[in-house]
Each structure stands twice: as C-alpha cells, then as structure tokens.
Structure 1
Amino acid sequence: MPQAEWNGVVLAQSDKYETVENNIYFPPDSIRKEYFKPSATHSTCPWKGVASYYTLVVNGKENKDAAWFYPDPKPAAKNIAGYIAFWKGVQVTP
C-alpha cells in the first residue's frame, strides 16, 4: 500500500491512488490532516491547471510547500481533483 512519510511520521496511506507523471496522488481522506497547513503558494501546469500547496508541520519542523493538489483541475486531470502529491524530501513508497 503506497504511503508518504516525512520526519518519522506517515502522512498519507491508501490502496486507492492515482499516478501522474511518476507522482503518486493520495485521496484527500487518506491524509493525516493534523500535519497539513494551507499555503498561499500556487503554480500552474499547462495541462493540469492551478495547483495549491500545503506546508507540512511534523514534530516542530516545517517543510514548506511539500505537498500539492489541484482543487479544480483541467478536464484532462479530473481524476486527481483534490488528490495530494508530495516532494521536498517526503518519502513516497509504492
């Protein structure tokens, strides 16, 4: 079962997920919300749309903008609407 871990804590784990561009996207109900802080950061992908970010806060440490999601993706990426992916040192195991 895929999971995302950072700073000794499992942040997300699910049998249901989507893989896009070698990134595993976890469904919103699979994350441990207490570690996610909304960020004001946004970026734009030409085919997925506008991404929003979360800063992770685990055991007193912050990992700024280490998780992202597409709240309202373009039609080609509708399968990942609201799903969360990770980077910046977050270990995602398939």
Structure 2
Amino acid sequence: MKAVLGDGTVVAEAPESDLIKIEGNWYFPPASVNESLLEKTDTPYTCPWKGECQYFSVNGLQDRAWSYPTPYPTAFDRVGKDFSNYVAFWKEVQVTE
C-alpha cells in the first residue's frame, strides 16, 4: 500500500500485511515512511486509550500525519500489536493499494 500526495509524491509504501488498521486509519511501519517529507509539529493531542500523539507536517501540509511514539501498554492489547512510531495520514495524503 502507498500513502501518496496529490502531486504523486509517495510518502510511505509497504505491503498491506505490514500495516496496522486502527479506527479506520492505516498505520505504516516507521521504516516505510520517507522521513524527509515529515516535520514534527507542536500540535498537542493525547488519545484516551492510545496515549500521547506526535503530529507531523507532510511536505509543508500542517498536521497531515501522526504517530504514537510511546503508546499506553494497554493499547497494544487492544490493537493486538505494538504500533509504536507507526505513522498514519490525514486529508491530502491518500492511502491506496
């Protein structure tokens, strides 16, 4: 699967079997993400069950990606896998097969 910007830039790419789907969002493993296109932002958010979130701008688009660097341990039980630092995308970043 790929996470792609409107101009065709591939932000992340990995086999679907390596991704994790949480609450309707595909999370890509850290090694599959082109980190040069991401920039950490200071946007604060803490999910009640996943933990503290880190948002990223994607190629200049504010807060279009996020991850959970240190999820709550109970979140691993709920998801069924360790998703630390996996990255999900929003809005202008399309996830396709």
Q: What's the TM-score, normalizing by structure 1?
A: 0.87
Aligned partner of 1:4 in structure 2 is: 3
The question of 1:53 aligning with 2:55 is answered: yes
Q: Distance in 2 between matches of 1:65 and 1:35?
A: 12
Q: Is the 8 A contact 1:63 1:88 kept in 2?
A: no
For residues 31-90 of structure 1, the C-alpha deviation after alignment (integer angstroms, 9 at most, x for no partner) is 111111111112111110110111011xxxx21010000000011333211100000221
Please tell me the root mean square deviation across aligned C-alpha atoms, in Å. 1.2
Please give the alpha-carbon distance, in whole angstroms, between the structure 2 residues aligned to 1:44 and 1:70. 9
Q: What pairs with 1:30-69 in structure 2 (closer than 5 Å)?
A: 30-57=32-59, 62-69=60-67
Residue aligning to 1:86: 89
Tell me, what secondary structure is at the counterpart of 1:76?
Answer: helix
| Structure 1: stretches of 5+ with no match in the other structure | none
Paired residues in the alignment total 89
Runs of 4+ in 1 over 3 A off after TM superposition: none
* Alignment of 1:77 onto 2:45: no
Verify the 8 A CA contact 1:50 1:73 in the aligned structure 2. yes
For residues 21 and 88 of structure 1, the distance between their equivalents in structure 2, rounded to whole angstroms, comes to 15
Partner amino acid, structure 2, of 1:72:
T
Percent of matched pairs sharing the same residue: 40
Equivalent position amino acid for 2:94 in 1: Q
Unaligned runs of 5+ in 2: 77-81
